[in-house]
Structures are given as C-alpha cells and as structure tokens.
Structure 1
C-alpha cells in the first residue's frame, strides 16, 4: 500500500466534507488534495526527489498534514523533528539525515540562521507559518499558489516514508526508518484489534506529530475518512474546548495529559460526551490515574497501546478489559493480527508464560533499521526479531505485561526490583502527584531503591510515610530505601521521565 491512498478514496467518497480543522481554518477534502498536489510540485521544483528526506520543524497544524502527504506524493521521506530539542540536537538530526529542505513555522523561524550555520547541506527553508516569510525563506502559501498540481507517484511498499529520531534518553538520537509497509501493517493490526476509530469520526491531534503514536492516530482517521482537528500544543482548556466545539470522537493522550485533564478546574464546564475512544500510552500509567480517567470520561473506552518508534503499535488492551478490571487491567493486551510477540531469555530462547525476559517482536510492522547505523541496526534486529529493550512477561492466554525497561531494573541485595511496580504502588498514595523510581549505588546493597516524588499542591508527606505506604502494597525489599521530593520530574518531548537525568543528579549517601 502507499500512504497517499486515503486521499484518493476520500476524494471519491466525500470531496466536500471537512478533512482538516486548525484554528479558524477548515479545509475540505477537495481543497486538501489540490493543495497536496501543488505542494508536491513545488517540492520537486526545489529539487526534492524520491528517497530524499524533507525536514519538518513545526508545531501540529493542517500544514503538517499537507506536508507529510505531499512528501509521500513524490516518494520522499518525511523527517519531523522534535520541537522540544535544542538547536544543537536539531542540527545533529538534520545533518545525520542529510535533509536539504526544511519546513519551519513561526515558532521556529528564529532558529533558522543558527541551523543554516550548523547544517552545510541545508539549502532551502520553507516558512509555513501565518506571517510573512522571513528573509531567505520561501513562503509556503506562495509555493502552493504558484505551482501546478502533479500526479501522485503512488510510492509505497518498502520505500522509506518516515525518519523519526528516538528521544535521545541514552546517547545520541538514532533515526528510525519506517516504510510505507511497516506503518500500514502496524496500523491495520491495531485498528483491527481496537476498532477505536469511527468511519467519518473526528480525531483530535494534540500529541506532537514527531511521535509515532501521534502519526498512527492521525493516519488512522485519515484511513477511515473523517475530520482531523489540530492543536499546536496541549493545554487542558484548549483540549476541552476543542472536544466540545468539534464533537471529537477519538484522541490519544499520554498519562501526564490525562492527569492534567482530570485535575483541571474547568472540566465540568465542557461537554465531552462525544469522546468514545481514548488511547493512552507513551509512559507508565498508574491504576489510580486510570480509574480517575475512566470516571472523568465515562462515555469513552480506554485502550492502552504498547510499542516504540521502531515497531509502531504492537498490541492493545480492549475496552472490555478495563470495564471488567482485575489483573488484566495492567496488561497491555495481546498481539494484534499483524504482529508476533515473544519474551526471550538472555540466550535468545523463548521463555514460558509467567517468566520475565526481553520483549521481542517480528512482522512487517518492524522498522527498516537505523539511518546510517548498521551496527546499531544489527544489535536491535537479531535472528529475525526486533529486540525492544523492555522487560515483560506473557500469561497463559498471550496477554503481555510490561514490567520495566531492562536498563531500569534494579538489583538490590541480589533481588530484582522493577521500578514500574514500585512507581505504581507509590502513585496510589493520595499525596503523590507523580514519581520516578531508580537504582542508585549503595555500599551495602549494590543498588538501593530510590524514589523521587512530586507531591500534589497543598498536600504533605514525609519520606517515612511514603515508605510505609509502599510496604503496605509491595514486598519490603521493593519499597524505596530513600525518598527525595522534587517540584517537577524531567521529561522528554514524549512525556517519558528521563531517568538518566535523575540517576546523574548528585545526592547524599543513604544513612
């Protein structure tokens, strides 16, 4: 399949239906397809050819939607950049991918002089903001207006569609190469398993489109036909207003977003009854937060997707599992119809149900590899399996339970402690807003379990109270031996807590 196919289908089925909404701009399918064909023509005139990479450094908008599709229209690869990175990190990714054309909006136009100085191959910058194009940049709307539409090249299969750079939580970011086939395979499997996108529905795109989960959510609605509403940034008030105004049916959220919505004082002032499906993921979510979310949005089904940039969505947790509750509420579900999953031991052999090992997967959904990094690719793709670096177990019915990142497992006094389990226990304390658990060096135990806790506004708790609470829910050796309190936790653009930063922070020895 080729990723521009849904445009042709939508043009045939509903040419005048609204396809995109961004602020006060609403564009029909007919308008979007015409603009995509013209932008594709303009990119060709700028020298972009099949297999080239085109950088995109913007917040979410309808123009990003058009840019992705125009890039695929001519067989090039979209290279969305992490909007939370520093200019040095952005320059690294542009140089690594070899992108010669970059699209920027008003929020990032100020970085262009520095990026030009750092990126010798960057020859053309297109300004896709609302204001006039700064000096030395081409104006997005002018390019579309002055270009003649070109036919869709219908590039697909194993052709490179996306380069998404990993968050860089350990070492330099790696460019994950995703083909048309791998994105479609991942999406087809997850959509069959979840059935969470309505034909003709409305998806709210608020997670940044440099994140694989956001790309999957955006493209799933495009496949089914319907309307895509874009928010440049997540703000709880803007989210609630958009859901009410546009009768949004589907969205994805990361746990920090869910928590902000549940605690927002204006929540009860908005009609959110149109929401029928919320997919959450990207970071660990506690049972406590999930229960609060289900009470906050009672008309919505909740689905948890497990995956990573290298794999897309691997498996899902259906709505009925959450309604029933019980042990499987903590599962991330079973492998989707297009995916195979296994839990492997250190020697690469499959482990039986109940045993914790490394989660691995294989199928067409898996990445092509890491851009320009054959050794890293070979380490990740071994013996036909994509090795995720996550620790987990399967039950007798094939439900997957993710227990931790392998590198986040703590070995204290010879016992394995999974930080996610401890964090889930701490999150149940009424004073805890968020927390992270890490292993820190300890002369007696090798490593000790250490918790960094952010308290809810107006609430108090002592370290000993936190420890006592944890011991009431988990074994004593798993409870944090030391606790520190912080105002915030460092997070990546995807909302994942940067435990590397916490481990590197200076702290006194245990007493």
Structure 2
C-alpha cells in the first residue's frame, strides 16, 4: 500500500472530476495531479529527501491536500502541527520533529517568521503575497518541472502527528503508509463518487483518515478552514455534500443554528461522529433533524486511527447498541484486559488493547514511551471499556479520568449521560476533584441550552434517578462554554486545573 495510489487511480478513471473545492477554487483530478507532481519537484529541489519531515502550520485548504500528496510523492513524512497550540508547544513540536520544510498560511504567520529566521526553510501557502523571508507556494508550483512519484509505501513512515499537548509534552505518533491506508479502507462514511465536507482540522487523525478514505473511494473534497455551523450548512446545500464527520459538540452547534431548517441538507448520505461520547438525546435530535442521513460512529486514537465502528445498520436497529462504539473493524483485533493482562469476561470493565496493521509504528524518538504502550504485540490505549455478548464495545472512560471516591470507581461518562438526559443540559463534563475525606469527589460542569434554566439541586436530583448516590456530583458549576481541543474534545485537564486553582 502506498498513499498516492488513489491519486493515480483517479487520474486514470475520473480525470475531469472535481477533486477539491476550497473557497472560490475548484480543481479537477488532472489539475491536482499536475500541481502535486510539480510541488513534489520543488520539495526535492529544496532538499527534501525520503524520510524527511515536511511540517504544515495552516488551516484546512486544497493546498493542505496538495502538500500531503506531494510530500508522499517524494517519499517524505507529513508533519501537520496544531495551529491552536501556544508558541511554546508549536516550537517544541518542531524542535522534536526537525522538519526540512515548514509550510504556513496567515493563521500563525508572525510565529513562523521567527521560526524560519534560522535554518528552517519557510514556504508561504496562504492567499496573499509571501513575506520577504519565505518562498511563495504558487511560485514553486508554477516554476518547477513535475517529477515522477517514488510510490513510497508499505512500512515506510508516512505521517508524524503530535498527541494532546494539554498535559505534559506532546508525543509524536509515527504512522506508516500501511497504518494509514489500512484504517482508511475500513471507514464507512465515504460514498464512491460522492462529495465529502472536511471541516475538522487536518492535523487530527480523524480528519486525516476521512480525507484519505474519500480519496481512496474517489470523489470530491470540500475544504472549510474551520468549523462554523452556518458555513457547514451552506456548504452542504451548495455542493450537495454526501458525507461529513463531526464531533458531538459540533453536531449540537449545528442543530442549535437558528436557520437550520432553511438549508437543504437532503443530499447528506452519511453523518459520521466520534472523538467524544454522543449523548443519546443529542443523537435523537440529529436523527430527527436530518432524516435522510445515515449515521456512523467511529472510535479510535491517534495511535490506532479507526478501531471500532457503529454502522448505519446498527443505527437503524437502535436499542442499547447505540450507547456503544460499535464492533471491531475488520482490519484489527481488540481485547479487554484486566489488571493482570488476562482477558476480561464479557460485561466487565478493563483496558482496551488493540493490535493490527492500523496501529502506529512508534512514538517518535521515545523508545521508553513506545515500549510502555506496545507490549506483546498489543497497543494499550489507556481507555476503560467492556464488551457485551454480541461483540459491541462500550467505552467507559479514560483510565486517567476515572474517579475513585471513597474506594468506589466512578466513570465520568455514566454521570455525564445521566445529566445529559435533562432537557436543559446542552453539554456537560464530569471530573474528579481532590477531597480530604473521600480522596476525590465527583464534580460536574454544565452548559445550559439556549434559553433554558435549571438549578444545581434540580440537576443533582435528576441524576440521582438513574445512577447511584455516590456517583451524583457533589457540586455543579454552570459555564457559558466548554474549553475544547482542536478536535472538539472537552479539555477536562484544563477544567480540573481551573477548579483546583480556583
């Protein structure tokens, strides 16, 4: 498997099909192929060699698409960086990756100017004029001859993505072409010849996988630089989008948009979701608001990409399986392990382990960290989960987020699910705070739905109707919005730090 395979196949079969849409630009497969082969030639002339890293610090666009393919075209490794990180986090990741090139748009240009003042070559990939100390992206494409594709693949390194960065130093996850392509072919959200909308950031494994999947099946990718509910709805209507993947917080914002009903979303064939638990009430709202869409859920990590899937058929059947992350994907194997490493009985919570060709090769330059998670052929995810008798996997919590109060284990997801069933709750997060008597106490942070009202006592009483009293939050804070990562996940570590400090 090599990651540029889809590009050659598309040129052979659908050369005049629109491949990318970004702002006012639409480019066919033929045009994209030509530009990518020229950009790869420019990378080689700038000294990029097989195995080198090519860093990207930019918003989603058709150029992001071209950079990925051009990097693989010349045998190098894509190294997308989280634009929402602080300058210290960005420079730390770049210092660790040691890329040969850094391509950047206007989103963090002042920082990039500082970074490229040294030996690092900077290429401006925005829509304006390039700064004096950076090369121009379009100049490179226009003035460089195309070069042949090296067709690097299989176990050669393909991507270096950095995890988290919110708790301690971020780790670089090195994935091979086999890792990425194995996961991509297991996605169900793409439709051959369809139109996929990409609004999740490309420096996240979920967006990268969705993009790869769409290219693998063949079709058009519409890029939005970032998520904005109105822009997403307008793009679905304008481009007759057939698939989009969002996190639950984004879906909630979409459903809350005051003009939702005025947009034509009938083209939507698949709505994928993941990266965080989907409250049952939110899923039901989404199914009512978008009756023509089939729903698909995917669970995975940066180290594994997709692991389990809750299919369109599963959503149609409904029932208790809607609370699960689905069954294990065809390309990998999953095991629920107890503390001593043995397999847990069905229904018993343990750590979710994964093995298969979709698992990462290693943590970049961190052999001890790699050895800690890759043991006996299994990747240890750090996620607490259980499996039912039908093989459906239920993600309970991050092991690190499990709350131990008075000797009892409390999984934040079950408390969040109990709170989320209250009609006034738009979003909630449950964390453990230090407690002198109990070790930890259960604490909730809640965002109320627009125009809704609820008291702390009311929500605690509501939760107590479905969970044990020791699991009910001892206190609840009301906030206007949750702190979210670039992937749309609630930053519980930040909430915890703020509350402890406060």
TM superposition score category, shorter chain reference: over 0.9
Which residue is equivalent to 1:57? Answer: 57
1:152 to 137, 140, 149: 149
Q: Secondary structure at the match of 1:107?
A: helix
Q: Which 5+ residue runs of structure 1 have no aligned equivalent?
A: none
Which residue is equivalent to 1:113? Answer: 113
Which residue is equivalent to 2:180? Answer: 183
* Structure 2 Cα separation of the partners of residues 454 and 204 of structure 1: 28
Q: Is the 8 A contact 2:181 2:212 kept in 1?
A: no
Which residues in structure 2 correspond to 1:1-20 (within 5 Å)? 1-20=1-20
* Structure 2 Cα separation of the partners of residues 325 and 154 of structure 1: 43
Distance apart, 1:411 and its partner CA: 1.2
* Structure 1 Cα separation of the partners of residues 273 and 478 of structure 2: 27
Q: Render the CA deviation track for 1:412-457: whole Å, top value 9, x for unaligned.
A: 1221110011001111111112111011122222211111112223
Which segment drifts farther, 459-468 or 53-62?
Answer: 459-468
Which residues in structure 2 correspond to 1:409-488 (within 5 Å)? 409-488=402-481
Q: Secondary structure at the match of 2:236?
A: helix
* Structure 1 Cα separation of the partners of residues 269 and 424 of structure 2: 30
1:129 aligned onto 2:126: yes
TM-score calculated relative to the size of structure 2: 0.98
Distance apart, 1:51 and its partner CA: 0.1
Q: Which 5+ residue runs of structure 2 have no aligned equivalent?
A: none
Q: Secondary structure at the match of 1:375?
A: helix
1:394 aligned onto 2:387: yes
* Structure 2 Cα separation of the partners of residues 243 and 221 of structure 1: 16
Which residues in structure 2 correspond to 1:363-382 (within 5 Å)? 363-382=356-375
1:495 aligned onto 2:488: yes
Which segment drifts farther, 33-42 or 100-109?
Answer: 100-109
1:251 aligned onto 2:244: yes
Q: Secondary structure at the match of 1:125?
A: strand
* Structure 1 Cα separation of the partners of residues 501 and 8 of structure 2: 62
Which segment drifts farther, 493-502 or 245-254?
Answer: 493-502
* Structure 1 Cα separation of the partners of residues 274 and 162 of structure 2: 18
Q: Secondary structure at the match of 2:344?
A: coil
Distance apart, 1:121 and its partner CA: 4.7
* Structure 2 Cα separation of the partners of residues 355 and 37 of structure 1: 52
1:273 to 266, 269, 282: 266
Which residue is equivalent to 1:77? Answer: 77
Which residue is equivalent to 2:140? Answer: 143
Q: Is the 8 A contact 1:87 1:114 kept in 2?
A: no
Q: Is the 8 A contact 2:56 2:80 kept in 1?
A: yes
* Structure 2 Cα separation of the partners of residues 302 and 351 of structure 1: 30
Q: Aligned pair in 2 of structure 1 residues 205, 508: CA closer, same or farther (>3 Å)?
A: closer
Which segment drifts farther, 257-266 or 430-439?
Answer: 430-439
Which residue is equivalent to 2:86? Answer: 86
1:68 aligned onto 2:68: yes
Q: Aligned pair in 2 of structure 1 residues 135, 508: CA closer, same or farther (>3 Å)?
A: closer
Which residue is equivalent to 2:198? Answer: 205
Which residue is equivalent to 1:288? Answer: 281
* Structure 2 Cα separation of the partners of residues 315 and 239 of structure 1: 26
Which residue is equivalent to 1:171? Answer: 168
TM-score calculated relative to the size of structure 1: 0.96
Distance apart, 1:114 and its partner CA: 2.7
Which segment drifts farther, 323-332 or 23-32?
Answer: 323-332
Q: Render the CA deviation track for 1:207-264: whole Å, top value 9, x for unaligned.
A: 0000111011111110111111100111111111110111000110011110010000
Distance apart, 1:508 and its partner CA: 9.7
Which segment drifts farther, 363-372 or 473-482?
Answer: 473-482
Distance apart, 1:502 and its partner CA: 1.7
Distance apart, 1:108 and its partner CA: 2.3
Q: Is the 8 A contact 2:53 2:97 kept in 1?
A: yes
Q: Secondary structure at the match of 1:82?
A: coil
Q: Secondary structure at the match of 1:108?
A: helix
* Structure 2 Cα separation of the partners of residues 170 and 102 of structure 1: 25
* Structure 2 Cα separation of the partners of residues 492 and 23 of structure 1: 25
* Structure 1 Cα separation of the partners of residues 54 and 497 of structure 2: 35
* Structure 1 Cα separation of the partners of residues 114 and 140 of structure 2: 24
Which residue is equivalent to 2:318? Answer: 325
Q: Secondary structure at the match of 1:459?
A: coil
* Structure 1 Cα separation of the partners of residues 165 and 345 of structure 2: 33
Which residues in structure 2 correspond to 1:305-320 (within 5 Å)? 305-320=298-313
* Structure 2 Cα separation of the partners of residues 81 and 149 of structure 1: 27
Distance apart, 1:498 and its partner CA: 1.3
Distance apart, 1:88 and its partner CA: 1.4
Which segment drifts farther, 148-157 or 482-491?
Answer: 482-491
Q: Secondary structure at the match of 1:157?
A: coil
Q: Give the paired residue count.
A: 502
* Structure 2 Cα separation of the partners of residues 246 and 232 of structure 1: 16
Q: Aligned pair in 2 of structure 1 residues 176, 430: CA closer, same or farther (>3 Å)?
A: same
* Structure 1 Cα separation of the partners of residues 365 and 211 of structure 2: 28
